[in-house]
A and B are shown apart, each in its own frame.
Chain A
Amino acid sequence: GAGVSQTPSNKVTEKGKYVELRCDPISGHTALYWYRQSLGQGPEFLIYFQGTGAADDSGLPNDRFFAVRPEGSVSTLKIQRTERGDSAVYLCASSWTENTEAFFGQGTRLTVV
């Protein structure tokens, strides 16, 4: 596609439920990043994939958060037993390995009620 695509654009879920957020990166981009942006804050790094493997997952807040990229393209961020504090906009970005510029998707706004 022309840009990074994230689905759904909005997700409302009940506390304790499981959610999956999807990211389709720009075709051919090998690097993929997940960020979380809370209201009034800058994007907070969660995890970075190079190809299929997670090169850096140091930003995942706890073991309820997990992300996969099984074929080195689409990625899914999974959140178990959601809490109200997980409410935020989850951003995905992709880039070429050799180019530091990251292209961002529009984000998924997650609301846990």
Chain B
Amino acid sequence: GDSVTQMEGPVTLSEEAFLTINCTYTATGYPSLFWYVQYPGEGLQLLLKATKADDKGSNKGFEATYRKETTSFHLEKGSVQVSDSAVYFCALSTLVTGGFKTIFGAGTRLFVKA
């Protein structure tokens, strides 16, 4: 079945460091790909998305490119801030009867130190 695998955390970085969180997927068909973020004490929020191969999603300085050839959707940010500390979830969404079903990876916790 469809699945998402992302790098284990926690990831600890200093402020202004470069961030990469790896994500690979397995899916039949052509899924849409997402990164969701969960800040401490808050619910899941959509961070960015890409709906087809070679699309780049971007938001708040984060980017991820839909790579069909490597079945990957790695999250990157050039300079992280303390406020980026959160859990990041990679997800894919596939078409099911009448709508879409979203499957999540296990999450990667990011700590950013001042």
Residue positions of A touching B, CB distance < 8 A: 30-31, 33, 35, 40-45, 48, 50-51, 55-56, 91, 93, 95, 97, 100-107
Contact = CB atoms under 8 A, between A and B. Distances in A.
Contacts of A104: 36, 43-45
B104 A42 contact: yes
B100 A100 contact: yes
Given A50-B98, A50-B99, A43 B46 contact: no
Given A31-B100, A48-B99, 7 more contacts: A42-B91, A42-B105, A48-B96, A50-B97, A93-B44, A103-B46, A104-B45
A45 to B, nearest CB: 6
Contacts of A44: 104
Contacts, number: 69
B44 A43 contact: yes
A104 B32 CA distance: 18
Contacts of B91: 42
Q: Chain B CB within 10 Å — which of A40, A93, A100 has the most?
A: A100
- 9 nearest A-B pairs in the assembled complex, by CB-CB distance: A50-B98, A42-B104, A104-B44, A106-B43, A31-B99, A100-B93, A42-B106, A43-B104, A100-B100
Contacts of A100: 32, 49, 51, 93, 100, 102
A56 to B, nearest CB: 5
Contact of A45 (B49, B99, B102, B107): B102
A43 B89 CA distance: 9
B21 to A, nearest CB: 13
B69 interface: no
A42 B22 CA distance: 15
16 contacts: A33-B102, A42-B89, A42-B105, A43-B44, A43-B89, A44-B104, A48-B101, A50-B97, A51-B98, A55-B98, A95-B100, A100-B51, A100-B100, A101-B34, A102-B46, A107-B43
